[in-house]
Structure 1
Amino acid sequence: MLVLVTYDVNTETEAGKARLRKIAKQCVNYGQRVQNSVFECMLDPTQYRLLKGILSEIMSENDSIRLYNLGDKASARIETLGKSKSYNPVDDFLSI
């Protein structure tokens, strides 16, 4: 399933900046960055639970992380405006 992960981390402190880097690193481990704080991740149910747990442990109460489950047929529902699409969110994940 394709999961869209978005986050907003309070970076007013050094601890916040460190959390931001940790969250981004975990998202890179599971998916493709499509914007600064937005990742598309092709996950099975176990990977979804693992990522959700890891992110929950890293974040603080002042941070916000949203996970959108777009399902297995997400590529048919994705439109890109502006900068051309850099990869296919389904096929490129399957080739890794």
Structure 2
Amino acid sequence: MDGFVMELLITYDVETVTPAGARRLRRVARICEGYGHRVQKSVFEVTCTPKTQLMLEAALSKAIDHARDSIRVYHLDRGSFGRARHLGAAISPPHNEPLVL
């Protein structure tokens, strides 16, 4: 089952009113950059295995303030990124392989 590849859409809203919130925002962005492609400021497309998803979610959960911040993980059908329609400037071409930096 570890070879199974899935697509996730990660969105986040981190409180940035305080310096601690700004640090959490940078930490969340760095974690997401290590696993996927940024498609908007707080939106990442991630292609990964179930094991990698668990590691990603654990890292994100540890990085946020659960009372102030919000992260949403959408599990998409395989191939959804390639079928996405882009209006305006597209950030990057679709990706099909896991990315872990």
**Cα RMSD over matched residues?**
1.9
Gaps of 5+ in 2: 1-5
Looking at structure 1, the residues matched to 99 and 55 of structure 2 have their Cα atoms a distance apart, in angstroms, of 22
Query: 1:81 maps to what in 2?
Result: 87
Number of equivalenced pairs? 94
Instruction: Name segments (4+ residues, structure 1) moved above 3 Å.
Output: 93-96
Shift of 1:82: 1.3
The structure-2 alpha-carbon separation of the partners of 1:34 and 1:84, relative to structure 1 and needing over 3 Å to count, comes to closer
Q: How does 1:2-81 map to 2 (within 5 A)?
A: 2-60=7-65, 61-81=67-87
CA distance 1:62–1:27, shift in 2 (3 Å): same
Q: Distance in 2 between matches of 1:85 and 1:34?
A: 6
Indicate conservation of the 8 Å contact 2:14/2:25, yes or no.
yes
Normalised to the residue count of structure 1, the TM-score between the two structures is 0.87
Looking at secondary structure, tell me which structure has more helix per residue. Answer: 1
Per-residue CA deviation, residues 10-47 of structure 1 (Å, 9 max, x unaligned), is 00001000000000000000000011000001110000
Q: Please tell me the residue identity of whatever aligns with 1:65.
A: I
Partner AA of 2:61 in structure 1: S
Are the equivalent residues in 1 in contact too, given 2:48–2:98 (CA < 8 A)?
A: no
Matches of 2:74 and 2:36, distance apart in 1 = 13
- Inter-partner Cα distance in structure 2 for 1:45 and 1:34: 22
